[in-house]
Chains A and B, each alone.
Chain A
Amino acid sequence: MAAPLQRLLCKHCTKLVKRTFDREKLRHRDVKNITYSMKRYFKTATGALYHGEYEMQDPKSPDEVVNITFIDKSGTQIPIKGKIGDNVLYLAHRYGIELEGACEASLACSTCHVYVKDEYLDKLPEPEEEEDDMLDLAHFLKENSRLGCQIILTKELEGMELTLPKATRNFYVDGHVPQPH
């Protein structure tokens, strides 16, 4: 039997390359001191920001339950019972997982950076341009990186494993190191 043909790039790298290429097209064109700002924000800067009240509520029925597992920096597995519609960042806060969300899910930082277990990566919707831009700034970026505040639980994500990276970059300008909350 002949050996299978090798792909030039694995499936994930192909996606990563495509993502980068698409981003380049949409970057600001700087024609000697002129910017034609091409980004259109469909969310307003002062849109409703949720603060985790929904995630504090218990699932109302077993049909709603979505079990996921967080793996923290030291490798400890922490199983969590969430429900459909939960925001992963606020769910983590409820259970004291060390996932900082400095900008409160407004796509302005990368402190809720998580690695999504491969089989579940495709089940998530494509990241928006703003998420990709923030991810670009995260430490230890991998192909399965996503921002936790953009992951909303669905039944399909049952059994998902989310690994926390070794460090995150917070944009504090005065050197302040936040307590995990």
Chain B
Amino acid sequence: MNKNKSHMDSELNGKAKSLYLDNNATTPLEPDVINAITSALSKAWGNPSSSHSEGVEAKTVIQESRQNVAEMLGAKSSDVIFTSGGTEGNNMILHTGVKYFHSERGLSHGGLTDKEHLPHFITSNLEHDAVKLVLEHFAEEGIAGVTFVPASPKTGHVMVDDVIAAIRPSTCMISVMLANNETGIIQPVKEIFERVRQINASRKPMPKILLHTDAAQAIGKISVNVQDLGTDYLTVVGHKFYGPRIGVIYVRDLGSGKEAPLHPMFYGGGQERHYRPGTENTAMIAGLGRAAKLVTENIDKYTRHMEKVRDYLEEKLKMEFGEDVCFNGKFDKSQRIPNTCNVSFLTVDCSGFLVLSMCKQVQASIGAACHSQSRPSPILLALGIEETVAKRAIRLSVGRETTQEDIDCAVNDLKQALDGIKNDKS
């Protein structure tokens, strides 16, 4: 069966095809998703708020997508709000935390110390910039206090007890990413949230602590269910699971007034029940819904395939390079998402970026695409990996179409790149 693998088979003047191993940075769109988008562009172009048939057509497309995304997460469609992406989603949720603190505490007694006047956030030191920089900004401006709980160098993720130990009376929100983009390590979000729920119950008169997880890297790779995780908020990012460049936020029982609040950052036309006004990006929403449907139907298949290919990759690397290769983030005590392999080649003393630039086929990166490609990754350093090893790190993230043959070619390509560098230096 010939699938449309144009993104894999880009033939350049009859030379070997490029091998895309950077799926954690972004993924190509599934053909099915592209179909949904183009169809919506031509057929559902009306303004979804209009009452005539053009508008209604567009509205229907959006509602169907919403339902698909909700099903993927195990949520109700009324819990789903479309956004422009993960960054907007994270910003919205964190700002909601601040406003929630002040609305709950506005009427409380005076005599609070300086520390207690500020909302307090707890997060890990592995977060994406869309969470980390927001919180650093809050701290700078005196909007909130933040505790960055360090991940354990023994497991590669934050430990439940460390997060619990950081809780203060003024804590209003805890945000822990579900899977890290550089190492792929899955954090114990379910366990942390379970404990916090117990703490919420026991400190009853005090406003409860809200729970958020950025699931950008996890969706489409492992099964993600909001009931199972016990989270109040969750960030979905389309372009990580073969969808378009928009996102979704999930908010538990949104609008019911009992569980999690959501405070809008934009004010305007009232779309998305006033939570996120702005005339809807119907076509992309259609694409996202289709991508979500594919995930719901095939997640087990995707997980198994990615794991098989990634494990094969690590096996081949070990066979080819033996002791000269070091897998970063591979711990006995923790799980990774099934497609990520963060590896350092110890044979040459140069940055991982240089190795990749010498590759003829392999397309990968050394870490988050939005970070500088020349310094060692701060996340790897935070996990206690030595700087000499961290600077050599390369992140290989396989995808749904990556085959074992691709891996064979990739390993050979890496080998020739490393040999090339070694010969240059000698």
Q: Which residues in A have their C-beta under 8 angstroms from that of B142?
A: 32-33
Residues of chain B from 132 to 151 with CB closer than 8 A to chain A in the complex: 136, 138-140, 142, 144-150
Per-residue CB contact flags for chain A residues 10-43 toward chain B (1 = under 8 Å, else 0) read: 0000000000000000000001111111111100
Whether the Cβ atoms of A35 and B148 lie closer than 8 Å is yes
Whether the Cβ atoms of B145 and A44 lie closer than 8 Å is no
Give B147's nearest chain A residue, CB to CB.
Answer: A35
Beyond A33-B144, A40-B162, 16 additional pairs, beta carbon < 8 A: A33-B118, A33-B138, A33-B139, A33-B142, A33-B146, A34-B136, A34-B148, A35-B166, A36-B125, A36-B148, A37-B147, A37-B166, A38-B150, A40-B150, A40-B159, A41-B162
| Cα–Cα distance between A36 and B139 once the two chains are bound (Å) | 12
| Cα–Cα distance between A44 and B159 once the two chains are bound (Å) | 10
Q: Classify the interface of chain B: helix, strand, loop or mixed.
A: mixed
Q: In this assembly, does A45 line the interface, its C-beta being within 8 Å of a C-beta of chain B?
A: yes
User: Given A41-B161, A41-B165, A45-B161, A35 and B140 touching (CB < 8 A)?
Assistant: no
Q: Which residues in B have their C-beta under 8 angstroms from that of A35?
A: 145-148, 166
19 A–B contact pairs at CB < 8 A?
A32-B139, A32-B140, A33-B139, A33-B142, A33-B145, A34-B139, A34-B145, A34-B146, A34-B148, A35-B146, A35-B166, A36-B150, A37-B149, A37-B165, A39-B165, A40-B152, A41-B162, A41-B165, A45-B164
Q: Which bucket holds chain A's interface residue count?
A: 10 to 19
Q: Which residues in A have their C-beta under 8 angstroms from that of B139?
A: 31-34
Q: Classify the interface of chain A: helix, strand, loop or mixed.
A: loop
B102, chain A: closest CB distance, angstroms:
16
Q: Which residues in A have their C-beta under 8 angstroms from that of B166?
A: 35, 37
| Cα–Cα distance between A37 and B161 once the two chains are bound (Å) | 12
B145, chain A: closest CB distance, angstroms:
4
Residues of chain B from 160 to 211 with CB closer than 8 A to chain A in the complex: 161-162, 164-166
Q: Which residues in A have their C-beta under 8 angstroms from that of B118?
A: 33
Q: Which residues in A have their C-beta under 8 angstroms from that of B162?
A: 37, 40-41
Chain B residues proximal to chain A, CB less than 8 Å: 118, 125, 136, 138-140, 142, 144-150, 152, 159, 161-162, 164-166
Q: Which of B149, B150, B152, B161 contacts A44 (CB 8 A)?
A: B161
Per-residue CB contact flags for chain A residues 138-156 toward chain B (1 = under 8 Å, else 0) read: 0000000000000000000
Give B145's nearest chain A residue, CB to CB.
Answer: A33
| Cα–Cα distance between A45 and B161 once the two chains are bound (Å) | 7
Q: Which residues in B have their C-beta under 8 angstroms from that of A38?
A: 150
| Cα–Cα distance between A38 and B148 once the two chains are bound (Å) | 10
Residues of chain A from 39 to 53 with CB closer than 8 A to chain B in the complex: 39-41, 44-45
Q: Which residues in B have their C-beta under 8 angstroms from that of A44?
A: 161
| Cα–Cα distance between A37 and B148 once the two chains are bound (Å) | 7
